[in-house]
Amino acid sequence: MSTTEDPRAVAKDASQERQKRMIADHFSRLARSEERGEKCVYTFVPGNLTELLLAFDVAPVLPEINALQSGMRGLSKDYIALAEKEGHSEDVCTYVKCDIGMLRSGNIGPTGERLPDPDLLLLSYTGCFTFLKWFELLKQEYDCPVTMLHVPYQADGRITDEMRKYVVDQLRDKIIPALEQMTGKAYDEDRLRELLARSARAEDDLVAVLESAKHKPSPIDAYFGGVYYIGPIFTAFRGTQEAVDYYRVLREEVEERIRLGKGPIIPSGELEQEKYRLVVEGPPNWTNFRQFWEMFTDEGAVVVASTYTKVGGVYDDGFRHDPERPLESLAEYCLGCYTNLNLPSRVEKLANYVRDYEADGFLINSVKSCNSFSAGQLMMLREVETRTGVPGGFIESDLVDPRYFSAANIKNRLESYFQMIEQKRARGVTR
């Protein structure tokens, strides 16, 4: 349906439509996996081992993706209420409660089809303690083995040889044997190398897309639009030819927008004028995603860099999956995820984004139930302001709990924040 037929329809470019079909096809394949005798593994986005799973012909299911999809479809409120009725605290991560409520309601995915039960619970622990408790809850629900990849925290802001070896040893001695036992297949490193090579090609194009926001006007929105861009590579498609093709098309599309001097695609069509360039820290709100986005576009604000689009891999730091070092490469990927970085590293990254993308401001969306992002954010706000001289802003919402999305409050704060930027401009202060 076009935007002329329905004024509330969301405008999408060709890559967004392609991404939507890819994700839908993946959920449809999952719904048929049991009857086709295919295995599936429940795991998480940060530090996911998609290439290794695909090397065993295993399909990944990502509970936090299920939760955000439920939020966007308006189902999370009831799912969360059901989980809280069972005794889960109001302060528990709403992704967890949404997932539990979804499970209790038949485990129906975004295509309206039931998702399969896991054949294995694979916990890749990368900085979010909630993941541990989440899998404890899932273990109570499913009769399947559990295995954990423990990833050391980058407390000193760097990856050491000892940390890398620690993760590689677990991959070799725990994770691969668990996948071999589950599937009855032997580990094929040559196949893993092929998958990693395709990952690297897709990662090259993704970085080019994200860094295109350095142009003025930016051809993309790296936060709201960015969630579409990261969908395939952060979920089930990294290592596939589908991902390579998608990111090639996306890059060509963005390069054409640069050539034409166009801004980003937004829900109502195209942004006509870029008025403010922002760097944003924290996940978006999913229950009111379009309304949230329009609070920015109505003011001419474009997000040119965001940390949320790095939760599944900080590729703009130069990391690529390396087929010549397959297990070491997987280990470095897990160790380098944004949620596994210490606060000084995050501050440095944000300050660099402000400078490199010539941002007018730095904004935090503090999510009530996400401690892995929200802890330390006020300190980060002050530090980024001090280092860059741009004004910082602070708004609050939640991932998928609509009770904590106050449109009036957020809109008022954003309007005040943009007025602050205007006042600095009027005084001739740009940084």
Cα–Cα distance measured from residue 310 to residue 324, given in angstroms and rounded to the nearest whole number? 24
Cα–Cα distance measured from residue 423 to residue 126, given in angstroms and rounded to the nearest whole number? 41
- The pLDDT value given to residue 376: 86
CB 296 within 8 A of CB 225: no
Mean pLDDT by 10 residues, the chain (431 residues): 41 81 93 92 93 97 93 96 93 92 93 94 85 90 93 92 97 98 97 98 97 98 95 94 96 96 93 96 95 97 96 91 98 92 94 98 92 85 96 95 95 96 81 56
What per-residue string of b and e applies to 14-33 under the rule 16 or more CB within 10 Å gives b? ebbebbeebbeebbeebbeb
Fold of 192-426: Rossmann fold (3.40.50)
- The pLDDT value given to residue 431: 56
Pairing state of beta strands 276-281 and 301-306?
A: parallel
Cα–Cα distance measured from residue 248 to residue 245, given in angstroms and rounded to the nearest whole number? 5
DSSP string computed for 64-114: HHHHHHHHHTT-HHHHHHHHHHTT--TTS-HHHHHHHHHHHTT-B-TTSSB
Name 170's Cβ contacts closer than 8 Å, sequence gap at least 6. 149, 150
Phi, psi (rounded to 5 degrees) for 31: -65, -25
- The pLDDT value given to residue 95: 94
CB 370 within 8 A of CB 287: no
Q: What is the assigned CATH class of domain 14-185?
A: alpha beta
- The pLDDT value given to residue 369: 83
Adjacent-strand bridge partners of 281: 364
CB 253 within 8 A of CB 14: yes
DSSP string computed for 249-268: HHHHHHHHHHHHT---EETT
- The pLDDT value given to residue 1: 29
Phi, psi (rounded to 5 degrees) for 366: -85, 120
Would you list the domain boundaries of the chain?
A: 14-185, 192-426
Estimate the share of the chain in helix, then strand, then coil, as percent rounded to the nearest 5: 50, 10, 35
Query: What angle do helix axes 326-335 and 189-211 make, rounded to 10 degrees?
Result: 40
